[in-house]
Amino acid sequence: MNFKIFPRASLLCSLLLLLPFTSHQTAAKPVRDHLTEQEADMIREAQELDKRTAVFIKAAERRLAAIADPNAAKQMSKADVEKWGELKGTRADFLFDLSKILDEAITNIDDVSSRDERNPLVPKSIRKLAEAANRILAQLQPLRDKVEDGKERASYELAVENAQQIIEAAGSLPPPPAKGDKKKKGDSR
């Protein structure tokens, strides 16, 4: 059975797809990549879904820190910049990045689920992502009235919508198995 965990096709997604083609933007301006090269490499290297999800979460949290404090991106340690890449941009850029990172994390989970719906890493990853989505929403909420119209507003709304979708998907999961429920190897009971 092939199904999607996360419902799609929102008006905001359509709006964001149209933004690069608005008249105020030139055709020569490249579209912003929402991940640094180092983050993209780490995602490609993370073969297990839960590890890949953890990289998306870290990338999202880095954008949140930059949104909350524009100087945070400039004050990252050298080791952090070497491992994760340097963050550059405006609050609108970081909101765009955040919305795309959450969208890509959702897509990754959907892809794995569509190939193997019984994969135990799917619910584990959704729960991890939902914990992060709750933190993200808590940090984005105070910005609601400060976000400007246009791309910044659309990116903000899409990030909020994606975080809410993640939380809703986690709410529809069955409860996680109790720690004592796993059978030990060799236990035939």
Q: What is the pLDDT of residues 157-173, one digit of tens each?
A: 999 999 999 999 999 99
98 occurs within a structural domain:
yes
Ordered alpha helix ranges (H), the chain:
11-18, 37-45, 49-68, 78-84, 91-115, 121-140, 151-171
Termini Cα distance of the chain: 31
φ, ψ of residue 6 to 5 degrees: the values are: -110, 120
17, pLDDT greater than 70: no
In a domain, 93, yes or no: yes
Q: Is residue 1 part of a domain?
A: no
Tell me, what amino acid is at 68? A
pLDDT value at 119 more than 90? yes
Count of structural domains, the chain: 1
Q: Is residue 103 within 8 Å of 161, Cβ to Cβ?
A: no
Q: What pLDDT does residue 177 have?
A: 79
Residue 163 maps to a domain: yes
Given a cut of 60, is residue 76 above it in pLDDT? yes
Q: Would residue 9 count as lying in a domain? A: no
pLDDT tier at 180 (50, 70, 90 boundaries)?
low
- Write down the pLDDT at residue 8: 54
The parent domain of residue 152 ranges over: 33-172
The pLDDT confidence band at residue 74, using thresholds 50, 70 and 90, is confident
In the predicted model, what is the mean pLDDT of the chain?
84
21 within domain boundaries? no
The confidence band for 182, taking pLDDT boundaries of 50, 70 and 90, is low
Statement: residue 107 has pLDDT above 70: yes
Does the residue 189 lie in any domain? no
- Residue 5 forms part of a structural domain: no
Comparing 27-41, 50-64, 81-95, the range with the smallest average pLDDT is 27-41
